[in-house]
């Protein structure tokens, strides 16, 4: 039995003294109101109304039950109101700065279609973790190693010139003492300046004999991209970022690198409502649905 629905019918009929008028006020048919009140009377084992041809008059037992039934209905209404307010409450979500404005806008728009209001906070990897710990956001897309990731984004090297090969090997950036011009550098943007990406790349740099200064952590993506656009330097980035900057992207020959992302909620919350309904939209926003198998050219 729907106890709240039955009590709602009971309260509405008692307040108006009529099953017809009370049912209409409770937005139900007279037959439904009658069945619900009858079910309540059967459950209590006592009559709530003395029914006449024109009016529904409370019995002494009905008068005793009415205040409690009214409290139950009011509590249910408050609960429903709070549930609707909670659904409308924005999900403050910390996202990486690699997402384009168009990608973020599409994510917000798709979330609205699922009844979710997103309030996005763009932040670097360490800042997103801090926002979660400080509970300044409800959830965050954290940078994690590939084996912990829900979404993965391939990383490679991109430059202005077409390298003419399918993969770029770091060892080809090694320069001798008599080599003309400055050594070509690899720029790491803030999103990738994390141990599980930076450290393997640093070890590879040392293993193939590059100079320490050939691997540079940029303060922001704009600064790094500017250096790459006006020199022969390379940017560590995703295929989507390379396309946006009109750069030629290739995977790294000696190592496979990728960004990993996982959704975490603050205060042991549950990120499943977001992940379950917006997983595809998040993937597209991150560029995780980009495939790195469209490189042109031939193997070096």
CATH number at residue 41: 1.10.10.10
Q: Which of 45-49, 62-66, 81-85, 262-266 has the lowest mean pLDDT?
A: 81-85
pLDDT for 290 equals 38
Please determine, for residue 296, whether its predicted confidence score (pLDDT) is greater than 90.
Answer: no
pLDDT for 143 equals 95
Same domain, residue pair 138 and 273: yes
Of 84, 111, 136, which closes a domain?
84
pLDDT bucket at 292, cuts 50 / 70 / 90 = very low
Task: Say if 291 falls within a structural domain.
Answer: no
Same domain, residue pair 165 and 239: yes
For the chain, the average pLDDT equals: 89
pLDDT bucket at 157, cuts 50 / 70 / 90 = very high
Same domain, residue pair 127 and 204: no
Same domain, residue pair 137 and 280: yes
Task: Say if 93 falls within a structural domain.
Answer: yes
| Domain count along the chain | 3
Same domain, residue pair 225 and 277: no
pLDDT for 1 equals 80
Exposed/middle/buried for residue 269 (C-beta within 10 Å: 0-12, 13-18, 19+): middle
% of the chain beyond a pLDDT of 90: 71
Task: Say if 299 falls within a structural domain.
Answer: no
Please determine, for residue 158, whether its predicted confidence score (pLDDT) is greater than 60.
Answer: yes
Can you tell me the distance from the alpha carbon of 272 to that of 213, in angstroms, rounded to the nearest whole number? 43
Same domain, residue pair 132 and 156: no
Of 84, 104, 128, which closes a domain?
84
Can you tell me the distance from the alpha carbon of 135 to that of 92, in angstroms, rounded to the nearest whole number? 10
Task: Say if 300 falls within a structural domain.
Answer: no
Same domain, residue pair 169 and 237: yes
139 is in which domain, residue-wise? 88-145+265-285
Cβ burial 109-124 (10 Å sphere, 16+ → b, else e): ebbeeeebebebeebb
Same domain, residue pair 51 and 119: no
Question: Residue range 111-132: average pLDDT?
Answer: 92
CB 162 within 8 A of CB 248: yes
Task: Say if 272 falls within a structural domain.
Answer: yes
pLDDT for 153 equals 94
pLDDT bucket at 177, cuts 50 / 70 / 90 = low
Same domain, residue pair 127 and 210: no
Position with higher pLDDT, 182 vs 29: 29
Of 62, 84, 106, which closes a domain?
84
Question: Residue range 245-252: average pLDDT?
Answer: 96
State whether residue 295 is helix, strand or coil.
Answer: coil
Same domain, residue pair 129 and 60: no
Task: Say if 290 falls within a structural domain.
Answer: no
pLDDT for 270 equals 80
Task: Say if 298 falls within a structural domain.
Answer: no
Position with higher pLDDT, 50 vs 181: 50
State whether residue 174 is helix, strand or coil.
Answer: coil
Please determine, for residue 84, whether its predicted confidence score (pLDDT) is greater than 80.
Answer: no
Question: Residue range 187-192: average pLDDT?
Answer: 95
Global pTM exceeds 0.85: no
- Looking up residue 205, the CATH number of its domain turns out to be 3.40.190.290
Same domain, residue pair 69 and 15: yes
Can you tell me the distance from the alpha carbon of 142 to that of 140, in angstroms, rounded to the nearest whole number? 6
CB 156 within 8 A of CB 170: no
Task: Say if 121 falls within a structural domain.
Answer: yes
Q: Which of 105-109, 155-159, 240-244, 268-272 has the lowest mean pLDDT?
A: 268-272
Question: Residue range 123-128: average pLDDT?
Answer: 95
Which residues have C-beta within 8 Å of that of residue 214, sequence separation ≥ 6?
173, 183, 184, 185, 186, 205
216 alpha-carbon distance from chain centroid: 31
Of 255, 254, 215, nearest in space to 235 by CA:
215
Position with higher pLDDT, 179 vs 255: 255
Please determine, for residue 170, whether its predicted confidence score (pLDDT) is greater than 90.
Answer: yes
Give tens-digit pLDDT for 212-222.
Answer: 999 999 999 99
pLDDT for 86 equals 67
Same domain, residue pair 92 and 79: no
């Amino acid at each position: 039995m729907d106890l709240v629905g039955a009590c709602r019918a009971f309260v509405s009929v008692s307040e108006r003294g009529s099953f017809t008028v009370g049912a209409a006020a409770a937005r139900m048919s007279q037959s439904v109101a009658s069945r619900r009140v009858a079910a309540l009377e059967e459950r209590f084992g006592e009559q709530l109304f003395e029914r006449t041809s024109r009016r529904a008059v409370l019995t002494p037992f009905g008068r005793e039950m009415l205040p409690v039934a009214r409290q139950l209905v009011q509590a249910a209404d408050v609960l429903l109101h709070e549930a609707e307010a909670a659904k409308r409450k924005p999900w403050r979500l910390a996202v990486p700065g690699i997402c384009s404005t168009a990608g973020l806008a599409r994510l917000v728009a798709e979330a609205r279609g699922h009844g979710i209001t997103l309030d996005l906070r763009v932040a670097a990897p360490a800042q997103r973790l801090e926002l979660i710990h400080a509970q300044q956001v409800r959830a965050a897309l954290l940078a994690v190693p590939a084996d912990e990731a829900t979404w993965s984004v391939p990383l490679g090297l991109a430059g202005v010139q077409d390298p003419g090969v399918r993969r770029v090997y770091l060892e080809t950036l090694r320069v001798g003492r008599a080599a003309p011009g400055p050594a070509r550098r690899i720029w790491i943007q803030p999103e990738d300046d994390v141990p599980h990406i930076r450290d393997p790349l640093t070890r590879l740099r040392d293993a193939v004999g590059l100079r320490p200064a050939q691997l540079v952590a940029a303060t922001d993506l704009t600064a790094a991209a500017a250096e790459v656009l006006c020199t022969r330097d390379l940017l560590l980035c995703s295929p989507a970022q390379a396309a946006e900057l009109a750069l030629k992207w290739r995977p790294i020959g000696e190592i496979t690198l990728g960004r990993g992302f996982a959704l975490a909620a603050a205060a042991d919350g549950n990120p499943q409502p977001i992940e379950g309904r917006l997983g595809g939209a998040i993937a597209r926003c991150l560029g995780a649905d980009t495939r790195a198998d469209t490189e042109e050219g031939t193997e070096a």
